[in-house]
Amino acid sequence: MEKVKTGTTTVGIVTKEGVVLATEHRASMDTFIAHKVAQKLYRLDENIGMTTAGLVGDLQVLVRYMRAEISLYRLRRGMLMPVGAAATLLSNILNESKFFPYYVGLIIGGYDFRGYHVFSIDAAGGAIEDKYASVGSGSLFVYGVLEDRWSDDLSLSDGVNLAIRGINAAMRRDAASGDGISVATITKDKGFVELPEEEILKRMKRMKLK
């Protein structure tokens, strides 16, 4: 079993203009900080992204599975895979591994012909759609921010700020989370777009976050 696991904070938010996915960068092994630039935010297709928490080896395998299956779906059907279908596919992969389960917590987010969606998916394959979700060791701190500030009319830009604020709160209180923030937006117009680090730092400065 892969020893290095991510003591992680991840978040997915639905806004009226798109989906926001965000993570921090730290990978830990018990109390040891194993990596400071761990990737936990992935593009699966132009309309779907995923955040990851758990064992690094398990997560990397699942990302490869999902990218391959989503590409095959597009080739065979000539259309983008719906977000719900991607969540069901991932759920089935996890559910089939009862005896040797993947040690993961995941968020799938994106858009399709039905609108914008975020699903949280647990290690047993349970998939739940919601307007926002957070997974990982710092998720309790993120939920405190989301419960206070999320609304149905949230703009995409405000959603980005909310995700940054939530991850920042977790990094300040959860020792297994830290070393920077990754943020991506997914919209019908522009698809999956990862924000540059400079943009995230500017937003943090405007919000007076440390």
Domain locations in the chain? 5-206
Q: What is the pTM of this model?
A: 0.91
* Burial environment of residue 144 by CB neighbours within 10 A (0 to 12, 13 to 18, 19 or more): middle
8 flagged as catalytic: yes
For domain 5-206, the question of CATH label 3.60.20.10 is answered with yes
DSSP 177: -
Would you call 16 helix, strand, or coil by DSSP? coil
Looking at residue 4, what is its pLDDT?
43
Tens-level pLDDT at each residue, the chain (210 residues): 444 445 688 999 999 999 999 998 766 666 656 566 778 899 999 999 999 988 888 889 999 999 999 999 999 999 999 999 999 999 999 988 666 678 889 999 999 999 999 999 988 889 999 999 999 888 888 999 999 999 999 999 999 999 999 999 888 877 666 678 999 999 999 999 999 999 999 999 999 887
Looking at residue 182, what is its pLDDT?
93
In this structure, are residues 142 and 133 in contact, taking their beta carbons and an 8 Å threshold?
no
The active-site residue, picked from 6, 8, 52, 185, is 8
DSSP 195: P
In this structure, are residues 123 and 54 in contact, taking their beta carbons and an 8 Å threshold?
yes
For 42-107, the DSSP string reads: EEEETTEEEEEEEEHHHHHHHHHHHHHHHHHHHHHHSSPPPHHHHHHHHHHHHHT-SSS---EEEE
Q: Which helix (H) or strand (E) holds 118?
A: strand 115-121
Looking at residue 209, what is its pLDDT?
87
Looking at residue 66, what is its pLDDT?
96
* Burial environment of residue 164 by CB neighbours within 10 A (0 to 12, 13 to 18, 19 or more): buried
Looking at residue 176, what is its pLDDT?
64
Buried b (16+ CB within 10 A) or exposed e, 87-125: bbbbbebbeeeeeeebbbbbbbbbbbeeebbbbbbebeb
Best CA proximity match to 132, nearest among 121, 143, 148, 144: 143
For residue 79 the two structure tokens come to 């259309």
